[in-house]
Amino acid sequence: MKVQILFEDNYLVIVNKPNNVLVHNSYYARNIKDATLLNLLKEQLGLDLYPIHRLDRKTSGVLVLAKQKDQVAKFQELFNANTIKKSYLAIVRGFVDEAIEITTPVKNPDTKVYKDAATSCKPIEKIELDIAVHPYKFSRYSLVELIPKTGRMHQLRIHMNKVSRPIVGDYKYGDRFHNRMFETEFACKNIFLHANSIQFKHPILETVISVNATLPDDWNKIIKLFNWKI
């Protein structure tokens, strides 16, 4: 599997992470034996790289990695100071008719302590299909932009579930009936959550970095089928 390189300089590499690829080995994914993103990039670029932020295994899109381990902290300061602009695209169950702010606290999986979390959700497109999904004789979906204002684990997935607009293809926090429909009707098994763009000021070069990640095949199929405009 070749990983798409979106940007590279002497300090960092920004990639378009595929669905269902672990960034690195971890306790939470100890049973997954597939090659990690770091393994793939080591083979592809011949470099040891160091992730600056997180991206779920099942989520696709923009991921920033440092070339030197001792540079990671400089880039992470941007995230901690909330000066990085990140945008995600998601397909969710139901209609989202107006912009909403979600501020439900999210539980830390290690400490079990709830921490403040905030997400902005903005509608882009919507559709009603004449395809029955339990318990209704039809199905409704929205394409939304999600902007995380904090960085909790699984924050976007948890927040969309909290407002009864779970992300399609999410088997942990989503709706199994809608997930199953996308599998049987459209042959789409991946989660429809994509880290679409990132923008930040390079802490070393002081230039503005702005990167967008192209959408996976499943996304392109659904967008064309639903006649959505992005």
pLDDT for res 30? 58
Q: What is the CA radius of gyration of the chain?
A: 18
pLDDT for res 178? 98
Q: Select 4-226's CATH number: 3.30.470.20, 3.30.930.10, 3.20.20.150, 3.30.2350.10.
A: 3.30.2350.10
Give 20's DSSP letter. Answer: T
Nearest by Cα to 8 from 149, 202, 197? 202
pLDDT tens, 152-187?
A: 889 999 999 999 999 999 999 999 999 999 999 999
pLDDT for res 132? 97
Give the catalytic positions in this structure: 56
pLDDT for res 25? 67
Nearest by Cα to 191 from 104, 52, 97, 61? 61
% residues pLDDT > 90 (the chain): 82
Query: Binning pLDDT at 50, 70 and 90, where does residue 24 land?
Result: confident
Question: 60-66 and 193-201: which strand pairing?
Answer: parallel
Q: What are φ and ψ of residue 184, in 5° steps?
A: -75, -40
Strand partners, 193: 90
Give the H/E segment covering residue 7.
strand 4-8
